[in-house]
Amino acid sequence: MSRVSAYTMTEIDRLKLSQALDYDVPSLPEIWAIAAQRFNQATALHAPHLKPAIKLTFTQLYEQIKQCASGLQVLGIQPGDRICLFADNSPRWLVADQGMMMAGAVNAVRSSQADKDELLFLLQDSGSIALFVEDLATFNKLRDRLTQLPLRFVVLLSDESPLENAGLKMLNFSQLMELGATQSLQPLNRGREDLATLIYTSGTTGKPKGAMLSHGNLMHQVETLGAVVQPKLGDRVLSILPTWHAYERSAEYFLLSQGCTQIYTSIRTVKKDLQEFKPQYMVSVPRIWESVYEGVQKQFREQPEKKQKLIHFFLDISHRYIHARRIWNNLELLNREPSLPERILALGQMVILAPLHALGEKIVYSKVREAATGGRFRQAISGGGSLARHIDDFFEIMGIEVLVGYGLTETSPVTNARRPWRNLRGSSGQPIPGTEIRIVDLDSRNPLPSGDRGLVLIRGPQVMQGYYNNPEATRKAIDPEGWFDSGDLGWVTKDNDLVLTGRAKDTIVLTNGENIEPQPIEDACLRSAYIDQIMLVGQDQKSLGALIVPNLDALEKWAIAQGSTLELPEGMESSTPPSPSLPSITLDSKPIQDLLRKELNREVQNRPGYRPDDRIGPFRLILEPFAIENGLLTQTLKIRRNVVMDRYQGMINEMFV
């Protein structure tokens, strides 16, 4: 039977959604008046690390959003006008974001730390007539080019004094709010089809593409994420991801709509904040959970030897226990349909191992939970990449529920998520309500049977309207039936859980959520005389890695210049005559490895637009060139990345151990 996979909402999803607070409004800004009425003096936003610290109740948040919107109307903003917002996590970001939408504007958002040329491209491509920036430093970064754009005014989110000679109208946040206090907000009727925001995502050409997300796209997330998590009034959420990112934004909108208190944290303060604020939720990318895992492992290693042995004894027992429990509950991905005897055997193992697992919980795991999360954690929500299996196992043993989800900027972003009652480790979970997943053959685009790997297509109310000013890219991404091409490879279980296996696109997504386009970096590395071919890897890893076909001739000459000779593997011919008088070195020797490391670092860092995430971590040398004959190059001499990945998967796995 073909896998068309029109997802039918389960009864549990229906039940959970019925328990969530409902907002029967067409546009996102309309939820704040209702939230203020429902939650009143409950704390909505808390920024403990600002000087001074800021706390806003739901009533205050709504009033500030209204005042910001009114100020924009005083400045002449009309429905549909575009405004760029280049700033980072703070309560004022949310006030500005929702103030713009309440005034009917469409915002285009990005971090203030982004590359200057990227920010200027967003300003120009979006056709923005106004600009909000983090501070004067951000403004000054862009200043020399702003007068060439049709900007009417600039707003600083800081309280710094505006520049008198800026060349265009400038005011700070307080001045904007004072303007808003002089006039009542003129109400607008915004519908679900009205454009709300542009979130730019990298394209294969390196030029960002503006995903057009409507109010209906965003409201779908607010209305359906209650099928995944069920927060309560006053629950605390740590906010660590960039607030302009689609994943963090939609999570914030939903969690605030349910009466949660959002607490702003950072990489520097997150460990302390987990202890101090004891949150029930945190939305993050896999790298955060890897960091927590590594911190716990470091503490384990610092224990006396006898205690380490005891800890590892319990971990081994508990690993076997959770594996048996998964089989019993039909939640083991590697054994998807256990037979009755297998399930009975698993139940027997659970009974035998349960007392020791409980003892490990008392002696070790409860203390880890307290130290790592503050002890009141309900669920960790992870997206932006797959969670490594050993990390998934570890948190399950510790009793920390990690719910992995999936989605893209173009899908607002959540399409799938694991549920607390169906946490199939290794998967990205079932579709959220209203969402369809289809797996198709890469070439024919015909639907594939359940269990077969293919291209993941998505259809639902959260799929973007298209790419702004880019109809060609839109046609390539969304077919006439409304199916969005995710560019990801995967398969679905018989119960509709999505399991991702790789990317059909070239884009590499690191565990910190950063999207890396490999081609420009590879091109830079090829400038080195010692590198003939290179392919970047690193999907769902902490850093990029590389498979390198070295230029043996250049390396041999370098070795001779260093007073040595390069010893090649057996069967390979040298381009230089052997010299018995010189000491020999091999390709895996430290001098060769250090040389290539130096080459990679120099070429990558000298590349225009270099970012720290572009740095290449581990690399391995391969002596078989990528060629048409061996199937590693296409007829147009492009690397067949999926084929290379399959051939060298063992080497790649070993590279990131």
pLDDT for 571 equals: 67
The CA distance from 32 to 28, in Å, is 8
Q: CB within 8 A of 33, min separation 6: which ones?
A: 62
Structural contact between residues 79 and 69, judged by C-beta atoms closer than 8 angstroms: no
pLDDT for 576 equals: 66
Gyration radius (Cα) of the chain, Å = 27
Instruction: State percent of the chain over pLDDT 90.
Output: 75
The sign one gets for the Cα dihedral 644, 650, 654, 657 is positive
CATH fold group of domain 28-190+232-279: Rossmann fold (3.40.50)
The CA distance from 384 to 289, in Å, is 12
Checking if the pLDDT of 6 tops 50, the result is no
Per-residue pLDDT tens for 591-624? 999 999 999 999 999 887 788 999 999 999 999 9
Mean pLDDT value across residues 531-547: 94
Q: Which residues pair with 436 in a beta bridge?
A: 459
The CA distance from 44 to 37, in Å, is 13
Structural contact between residues 104 and 190, judged by C-beta atoms closer than 8 angstroms: yes
The CA distance from 276 to 171, in Å, is 36
What is the longest distance spanned by two Cα atoms in the chain? Answer: 89
Give ∠ CA 513-519-523 in degrees, rounded to 5: 130
Mean pLDDT value across residues 491-500: 94
Q: Which amino acid is at 365?
A: Y
pTM for the whole structure: 0.82
Please state, in angstroms and as integers, the Cα–Cα distance from residue 195 to each residue in 215, 269, 484, following that order: 6, 36, 18
The CA distance from 3 to 446, in Å, is 9
The CA distance from 348 to 440, in Å, is 40
Checking if the pLDDT of 446 tops 70, the result is yes
Q: Which two tokens stand for residue 401?
A: 């529920």
Structural contact between residues 28 and 215, judged by C-beta atoms closer than 8 angstroms: yes
Mean pLDDT value across residues 352-380: 95
**Mode of pairing for the β-strands spanning 281-284 and 379-382:** parallel
CATH fold group of domain 517-655: GMP Synthetase; Chain A, domain 3 (3.30.300)
pLDDT for 161 equals: 96
The sign one gets for the Cα dihedral 250, 256, 260, 264 is positive
Mean pLDDT value across residues 331-353: 93
pLDDT for 337 equals: 87
Q: Which residues pair with 170 in a beta bridge?
A: 154
- Scored b (16 or more CB within 10 A) or e, 62-90 reads bbbbbbbbbbbbbbebeeebbbbbbbbbb
Per-residue pLDDT tens for 198-221? 999 864 345 889 999 999 999 999
Checking if the pLDDT of 152 tops 50, the result is yes
CA 397 to chain centre: 25
Identify the DSSP state of 585.
Answer: E
Give the DSSP letter string of 241-253.
S-TTSHHHHHHHH
Q: Which amino acid is at 590?
A: K
In the chain, where the domains are located? 28-190+232-279, 517-655
The CA distance from 416 to 429, in Å, is 5
Neighbours of 334 (CB within 10 A): 10
Mean pLDDT value across residues 73-102: 98
Structural contact between residues 456 and 500, judged by C-beta atoms closer than 8 angstroms: yes
Identify the DSSP state of 161.
Answer: P
The CB-based long-range contact list for 334-339 (8 Å cut-off, 24+ gap) reads 334/426, 336/493, 336/494, 337/494
